[in-house]
Structure 1
Amino acid sequence: MKLEYVFYIGAHPDQVWDVLFDPARSFQAFLGGVIRSTCRVGDRIEFVGPGADGEETVHIYGTVLAYEPGKVLSYTDHPGPSHYAEHADMESRVTLTLERVGSCTKLHLLNDQWTDNNPLFGKTEQYWWMILSNIKSIAETGKPLDFGFGKSP
């Protein structure tokens, strides 16, 4: 099982990278969460934002597997403890690479090595499209997409 996406973004790789790590921009890109990590291989990485445990709810956590600023981020991925009691047994790997292509950036995301019967696969498949589209929009226009969350019909 794997999820794989390729996006071409009309911005320099450094601008795309900034969307991932600048808290004001990443909060928008990641639908209300930010990356918290030293980004050193072997260290913990967390996606933190408002949720069941308050403003600092850990939605995703894992271990940094590779990090090269502006080029590569790879980590193991577990759902946060408030989402599933068996969160430690549910794992996948995420590898995001950025490559300059002409005057734009090729963003390649591979989410693989899923544990058997991981219930997050379906949810993740839905949300990666939104998150990656948001990264593209923010890098190109400075604005996130409006998915209508929190608005009544």
Structure 2
Amino acid sequence: MTRSTFVYVTYIRTTSERLWSALTEDAEFMKQYWFGVRCESSWKPGSPWRMLYPDGRVIDSGEIVEADPPRRLVIRWQNQMNPEFKAEGNSFCTMELQPVDKAVKLSITHSIEREASKLIGATAFFWPQILCNLKSLVETGSVVLTEPFADN
């Protein structure tokens, strides 16, 4: 089967431990770079995972497939808001953190076993904005973008 994949790599001046915390454990920090959205999970393999709007509506849900702090996180991810995306089934988001000099290389790979996935097409739009905000927030203390998906 053909796979649809989106890959994004950035370098963030921080430690692997701090970046892991920003990606998983620090819900208030997460809401700043995710435009108010938060993720809930115990971040252990097999545990449920979900992403919520501030009003509590579930955007995405799934399960933690792999967690190796502070190096690698794999999430089974299914959209719950858009019927077309939900019908595509489960995607997988892999986050890999690798120390490089005074920074951490963060690689995000979001993929699904489906040709021409609309979900993966959408991730190519939203991941760069979220990760831009994450990088800026970690390095400077403030986000770059305040309006979610402004150029959509």
Q: Return the TM-score normalized by structure 2.
A: 0.85
Task: For residues 29-65 of structure 1, give each alpha carbon's deviation from its aligned partner in whole angstroms, at most 9, with x where no partner exists.
Answer: 2222111011121221111123xxxx11111111111
**Residue identity in the other structure for 1:28:** Q
Counterpart among 17, 21, 29 of residue 18 in structure 1 = 21
CA RMSD of aligned residues (A): 2.2
Q: Match for residue 27 of structure 1?
A: 31
Structure 1 residues 76-87: aligned runs within 5 Å: 76-80=76-80, 82-84=81-83, 87=86
Task: For residues 89-130 of structure 1, give each alpha carbon's deviation from its aligned partner in whole angstroms, at most 9, with x where no partner exists.
Answer: 422110001111111101011111343453222221100101
What runs of 5+ residues in structure 1 fail to find an aligned partner?
Answer: none
Among the aligned pairs, what percent are the same residue?
24
Q: Match for residue 91 of structure 2?
A: 92
Assess if the C-alpha contact under 8 Å between 2:33 and 2:130 holds in 1: yes
Q: 1:44 to 1:11 in 2, by over 3 A?
A: same
- Structure 1 stretches of 4+ with a deviation exceeding 4 A read none
What runs of 5+ residues in structure 2 fail to find an aligned partner?
Answer: none
Q: 1:86 to 1:24 in 2, by over 3 A?
A: closer
Structure 1 residues 4-153: aligned runs within 5 Å: 4-21=7-24, 22-50=26-54, 55-80=55-80, 82-84=81-83, 87=86, 89-116=88-115, 118-149=117-148
Q: Return the TM-score normalized by structure 1.
A: 0.84
Deviation at 1:83, TM superposition (A): 2.8
Q: Aligned with 1:56: secondary structure? A: coil
